[in-house]
Structure 1
Amino acid sequence: MGRVTLQTIADRVGVSRMTVSNAFSRPDQLSPTLRDRILAVADELGYVGPDPAARALARGTTGAVGILLTDSLSQAFSDEVATTFLGAIADELAPTGLGLTLLTTNQAGSVIPARDVAMDGALVYSCDPENTGVEWLLRRKIPLVFIDQNPADGVPAVNVADRAGARAAAQHLVDLGHRRVGIVTSGIRGRHGLIAPEDTGDVIDGFVADQRLTGWLDALTPAGITPVIARQPHGDPDSGYRAASELLKADDPPTAIVCFSDALAQGVMEAAVDAGLTVPEDLSVVGFDDSPAAARMRPPLTTVRQDILAKGHAAAAALTRAIEATRTGEPQAAEHLCLPADLIVRASTAAPRA
């Protein structure tokens, strides 16, 4: 048998080509009995359905949305916060039938995913402020939602109260009596290693990192504390270990360290143990995120909780609303949602030794 087409099935069933097409794309137009008969013949003939590219061209939609990530996809799948967030997005999109396409900023030859991949809309998740992918998506004028980005006029956004959460974390250490405090953070561009607060202008960071640094300083500066910042290119436990190792080698090392993420905090705690210190008696450690790993650490990690599931569901819901508004031509306000960030005190923090 040659190539099986809609007409092949129509001839076998004895209906029109349009009726067969409706069985796949508009099932509500047929009786269940007729549709089942058409699908049974299609299965018998080995027909899998209309060509997706042709169907997308006819409908003017792709059935897919993108999510733009700064980091590599391998890192996204190895980080518990990122995987939880992506899972929440997938759950929210499941009833809509929309597929999720992961986009990186890496370019292979002339291919730029944010410019070249077909999609009905996109989520921009915690991207570098100089990410060219964001610019390409904006230029395409497709529906967008920013997550953990600097909110922009006309673009729906979902953020967390990062500054308030970081302020609460640092204030917790101040209230415990700590006066020598280190900060461990990460960022791809700019300077790495030990950085004084007044030199952070030489560092290019994203919106979230800037917000958290500002929040830490909101509490530390009024207390007369000048922290030392240890900055690494990546945000994994190994990077936290290297950063803490630098901080703890100082002549007057910190008695407490606040971290950009729980993953970095995990590495900080491991470095402290390897240096012969006890957490929290010799070193208090605070993370950010309240990832699944935070409560499993020993001791359990004091951290700032953000609702990762709520963030993913809210972002995906905002995008589906924006796509539907674009399809129907209805105006829609670009809402900026800010989710709370709450300090969760566990056993990794205590007053400094006398």
Structure 2
Amino acid sequence: MKFSIVITTYNRLDLLKRAIDSALRQTIPCEVVVADDCSSDGTQEYLSYCREKFLESGNFRFVYHRNQVNSGHAATVNAGVLKSSGDWIKFLDDDDYLAPNCLEEMARAIALRPQAVIASCMAAQINEHEVELSRTPQLGAGLAFYTPQADIHYGMLLELLPFGTPVQVACRRDVFLKTGGWDSQLDTNCDDIDSWINIAKFGDAIFINQCLTYRTIWQGACNHKFSLSRRLKTNSVMKEKIYSLVSEKHYAHIPALKDIQNYLKLHWLLVALKQKNLQSFNSIIFSAIPAIFSWQAWSLLFHALLNRRNFSSTQIQKYVLIK
């Protein structure tokens, strides 16, 4: 099993160096592919120098790709994967980084479940000074477990199986290419989640209950450029897509789609209140009035909050790989 770490970057050279360093320090051999979205801050010169140094030493594991024009995050991910040669792709944005044993632990779990097509792990949320703010919750029992394909979309729909952001996720390269890659129309607004949904059609999922990745929470993050109302709209589109893919084994207990959409409105309305974002609150409140008076929506919101703290569901099969 060979891993390729695909790092996407655009005008963040200082942060990029940290991401590359974490990729090169992995405890198992891997290929490192840096896909540059036509940066203008010295990134090209730095990466060209790095590539030459590796080539001079006879090491071909460092690959540099530069878009001819600025094409967006999704297109840059796709370009990086096309340039890679690994069996599995580990995604990494330039403002995030990996623990040294990230790939080793992922490879160990994947080897125990060859039917897996996607894997995810816990992440630490850090600030710009690398101070840990929080961690994503543990899911299920054991250090690693897998969930069969037939249960994945139901788990995603009810947020019982959150794969997380790119820094947490790896997938099989052949399956990624089979799905057509990331959708540029969603660029940085659920393009990753859309990809996880598509990949999960083709096999099982692995979840690793170890903190192996670090995600930076800062004002320069891509998701800060989208309004909460736009994120609500895209989130709703993702839920509709997942809903259509849920296995028939779950039809007897699946919530109505309108209740899920109402739950999303409640969620983002509360996010706007928490952030004291009056503009977003006003843009959501009128469409959320039916949700406010829906006990089904409040029930889904309550269970979603509970699931983030205590992963448990009799409807989702979980098989421990590593105790």
Which interval holds the TM-score relative to the shorter structure?
under 0.3
Q: Compare relative contact order (CA 8 Å, sep 6+) and give the higher one, 1 or 2.
A: 2
Structure in which a larger fraction of residues adopt strand:
2
Report the structure number with the largest CA radius of gyration.
Answer: 1
TM-score of the aligned structures, taking structure 1 as reference length: 0.23
Q: TM-score if structure 2 supplies the norm length?
A: 0.25
